A and B are shown apart, each in its own frame.
Chain A
Amino acid sequence: MSGSSPGSIERLLGEREIVIACGPGGVGKTTTAAAAAAIAASRLGGDVLVLTVDPARRLADALGLKGLGNQVTPVPPEVFQAAGETPLGTLSAAMLDTKQSWDALIGEHAPDEATRDRILHNPLYQNITERFIQSHDYIAMERLYELHSSGSWDLIVVDTPPTRNALDFLDAPARLADFFSSRLLRWLIAPSRSTLLGIASKPFTQVADRILGTQFLADITEFFVSLQSMYDGFVERANAVSRLLADERTSFMVVSTSETVPLREAEFFATELATRGLDIGAVVLNKVLPTSLSDPDALAATRRLAQRTPEMTAALAARLDVDASVLDRVLETVTESFEDFAVVARREASSRERFPLGGATLLTVPQLDRDVHDMEGLLTLGSYLLGS
């Protein structure tokens, strides 16, 4: 990346309808998504929505999200004004409430109220939707689809849920469709229409019964028999969600830091996206150390500082009117500090250079002085994304 001009995601934010921020955990993905949405709304105009998963409380407050669940909330213009900004467009924010979204989806697809209630009250359903994370993946993409098809937004920036495997959310719609189409599921459900005990003769259910117990198996069966009535709707929807992700109106923004482990994961992620034919518009690297740390002149100055003579220290102490022995210790520490950070900066710079960018724009955001938790901070971060 050295030598290249500073990148910008202006085109990405200005031309696409959906930008999905993804990447390893703990790299500032949520904040970066919010910053991209804020700067797009403010400087590029249009009606912009950020769909976020689990923002830090102060960031949620900054966006006006106060436990409103699934509801889309406009960020008041005063929030921008307080940050000294007159936005060209509007910004709204929504959080993802997995349970609410699932309930709404069931409500929409259920053929009648009785089926809906049977599903909503099934203990398995409650467990699947509340406790188990894969269900977040599907519902995040489903909610995105719903918001996009409402046609209310020029741009939706999506923060992806933290997953065990960073790619789970991409596969979730297809996996759900596969699951509903599987012969195994049909095979399990089919005989249960006549009698639940009928299935007990199958070898699988014999094993499952001994491990899980009859009641549990009955719960599973009942749950899927109920769900089966919604099968076509679900599969169709899941396929539509998959198509939307691959659509040319959608692009991905891979977010990472330059540290070894996250960057390795981001690289894996970028490769996988490319393999699936999905578009990577930008790679954003946060918390990048200043380039001056790897500057040869600065390194030379540090060497001279390390080899300072007592006379140099004394002269400097006299000029600054400070104690020479304290100054000597301070200069020693300054040298160490530079060397410590220079090692890290060099290591990270060489990792960045090895990153397989493909056609994506690389953006680096410097280590900021403070945590981002207000509109001013988001706009500062956003300005780096626009390369300004």
Chain B
Amino acid sequence: MIPLAERSLIFVTGKGGVGKTSVAAGLAQMLAFQGRSVLGCEVDAKGDLAAAFEAPPSGFTPVSAGENLSLMAMDTEASLREYLKLNLKIPIIGRIGPLARAFDFVATAAPGVKEILTVGKLCYEVRERHYDTVVVDASATGHIVGQLAAPQAINELVKVGLIRSQTDWMLDILSDPRQCGLVIVTTPEEMPVAETVELAAKVAEETTVELAAVVVNRVLPERFSPRAEAVFDRLSSHEGIDALSEVLGADSASVVGAAALATTMRRSRVQHMNTLRAGLPAGTPLVLVPYLFQRADGHRATRQLALHLAEEIDR
């Protein structure tokens, strides 16, 4: 499989709450650290991607957020305007008002228009080689297939017209695993794993985009070897806790409890990891990212994540 870092258009998706945006930010930061010029694009425009770099909310025009790294937020209306300017040579100034209203109408009425304007803009950046890599903080698992499949859907729905003729080159980029890949972010928990397995199958079935990797976020560290685990079981019995409390001269139930919690959480996560491995197409690269206890968000967390990703991906 083509290494993730060599692809020029990387879509990052995941179920809500698994850290999709953090991983997209970490990936963009990792590539920027490696000397590639990177555009990070947030599709849902909530400002979370910019927040991961502690940068002000970005707009449609990319702005720098560090060395080798620019950020933008998708705006389908701006994308349409840019498209019309480039392709139709429409003197745009006089028409902005009615066009904006008309756009609202068309976007509501004509399914796929917003999606195609999003995917189209991203593919355009790749085709024009404005950056080495475009990392997309894409829609969540429920919407990503609709987005990635939009060029095909339009191809089927629209028989003639400019948009139709534009979908061909987009499909060329999306379908080429040397250029484009999808990353699904998950955590080793029941629902995210189930959704990831389902999504992987759906992506293969309904889109032409290759699943390049699954990133498993918030993996808890292995605490005990089997031998140590037996000792820990002894320690966390009533007798063990009493003995420890006595030796320490302080109540140690909570202390041991925290380690027990970590062990229980890790055990249930191991099961979900196995389900994930079994459910994904053979050969799908799994990238494990540890739980970051010290920091959950902000630029520092993004840098840490970038370092962990680099370590795992190079391995």
Which A residues lie at the B interface, using CB under 8 A?
24-27, 56-57, 123-124, 127-128, 131-133, 162, 164-165, 179, 182, 184-185, 188, 203-204, 207-216, 220, 223-224, 257, 259-262, 289-290, 292-293, 295, 297-298, 300-302, 304-305, 308, 312, 315-316, 319-323, 326-327, 329-331, 333-335, 337-338, 340-344, 347, 367, 369-371, 373
Residues of B within 8 A of A373 (CB): 190
Residues of A within 8 A of B113 (CB): 212
- Across the two chains, which residue of chain B brings its CB closest to A321? B234
Contact between A26 and B88, CB atoms less than 8 A apart: no
Contact between B254 and A292, CB atoms less than 8 A apart: yes
A303 CB to nearest B CB, Å? 9
Q: Which of B197-253 contact A (CB under 8 A)?
A: 223-224, 227-228, 230-232, 234-235, 239-240, 243-245, 247-253
Contact between B142 and A162, CB atoms less than 8 A apart: yes
Contact between A213 and B17, CB atoms less than 8 A apart: no
From known contacts A184-B101, A315-B247, infer whether A341 and B15 are also in contact, taking CB-CB under 8 Å. Answer: no
Residues of A within 8 A of B194 (CB): 56-57
Contact between B254 and A326, CB atoms less than 8 A apart: no
A126 CB to nearest B CB, Å? 9
Q: Give the size range of B's interface with the partner.
A: 35 or more
In addition to A215-B160, A315-B247, A341-B261, 10 A-B residue pairs with Cβ atoms within 8 Å of each other are A56-B191, A298-B255, A316-B247, A322-B231, A326-B231, A330-B228, A333-B224, A337-B261, A371-B190, A371-B268
Q: CA A301 – CA B245 in complex, angstroms? A: 8
Residues of B within 8 A of A316 (CB): 243-244, 247
One of B109, B232, B234, B243 near A124 (C-beta < 8 A): B109
Q: CA A257 – CA B164 in complex, angstroms? A: 44
Contact between B243 and A320, CB atoms less than 8 A apart: yes
Residues of B within 8 A of A211 (CB): 84, 88, 161-163
Contact between B17 and A27, CB atoms less than 8 A apart: yes
B257 within 8 A of A: yes
Contact between A257 and B111, CB atoms less than 8 A apart: no
Q: Which of B143-180 contact A (CB under 8 A)?
A: 143, 146, 153, 157-164
Contact between B247 and A312, CB atoms less than 8 A apart: yes
B18 within 8 A of A: yes
- Across the two chains, which residue of chain B brings its CB closest to A348? B296
From known contacts A301-B254, A304-B248, infer whether A220 and B110 are also in contact, taking CB-CB under 8 Å. Answer: yes
Residues of B within 8 A of A327 (CB): 231, 235
Q: CA A210 – CA B112 in complex, angstroms? A: 17
From known contacts A212-B158, A213-B164, infer whether A261 and B235 are also in contact, taking CB-CB under 8 Å. Answer: no
Could you name 30 residue pairs across A and B whose Cβ atoms are closer than 8 Å? Answer: A26-B191, A124-B109, A124-B111, A132-B111, A133-B142, A165-B44, A185-B105, A203-B95, A207-B102, A209-B161, A211-B163, A213-B158, A213-B163, A215-B158, A215-B160, A216-B157, A223-B109, A257-B17, A261-B19, A292-B254, A292-B257, A298-B255, A304-B248, A304-B249, A305-B255, A308-B247, A320-B235, A321-B234, A343-B293, A343-B294
Residues of A within 8 A of B262 (CB): 337, 340-341
B64 within 8 A of A: no
Q: CA A262 – CA B16 in complex, angstroms? A: 9
From known contacts A24-B16, A56-B190, A262-B17, infer whether A212 and B110 are also in contact, taking CB-CB under 8 Å. Answer: yes
Contact between A301 and B252, CB atoms less than 8 A apart: yes
Contact between A342 and B258, CB atoms less than 8 A apart: yes
Contact between A26 and B192, CB atoms less than 8 A apart: yes
Most chain B beta carbons < 10 A, residue from A131, A164, A211: A211
The interface residues of chain A, by DSSP majority, are classed as: helix
B140 within 8 A of A: yes
- Across the two chains, which residue of chain A brings its CB closest to B191? A56
Residues of B within 8 A of A343 (CB): 293-294
One of A330, A334, A342, A369 near B264 (C-beta < 8 A): A369
One of B109, B164, B190, B255 near A302 (C-beta < 8 A): B255
One of B161, B254, B264 near A212 (C-beta < 8 A): B161
Cβ proximity bits B89-116 to A, threshold 8 Å, 1 near / 0 not: 0100001001101101110111111000
Residues of A within 8 A of B143 (CB): 133, 164
Residues of A within 8 A of B110 (CB): 124, 212, 216, 220
From known contacts A56-B191, A257-B17, A304-B248, infer whether A123 and B157 are also in contact, taking CB-CB under 8 Å. Answer: yes
Closest 6 A/B residue pairs (Cβ): A25-B16, A26-B17, A213-B161, A298-B254, A292-B254, A301-B250
Contact between A24 and B146, CB atoms less than 8 A apart: no
A321 CB to nearest B CB, Å? 8
Q: CA A250 – CA B98 in complex, angstroms? A: 39
Cβ proximity bits B108-135 to A, threshold 8 Å, 1 near / 0 not: 1111110000000000000000000000
Q: CA A119 – CA B219 in complex, angstroms? A: 49
Cβ proximity bits B43-81 to A, threshold 8 Å, 1 near / 0 not: 010001000000000000000000000000000000000
Residues of B within 8 A of A292 (CB): 253-254, 257-258
Contact between A334 and B256, CB atoms less than 8 A apart: yes
From known contacts A211-B163, A212-B163, A223-B109, infer whether A295 and B254 are also in contact, taking CB-CB under 8 Å. Answer: yes
Contact between A203 and B98, CB atoms less than 8 A apart: yes
Contact between A297 and B251, CB atoms less than 8 A apart: yes
From known contacts A207-B99, A216-B161, A261-B48, infer whether A290 and B247 are also in contact, taking CB-CB under 8 Å. Answer: no
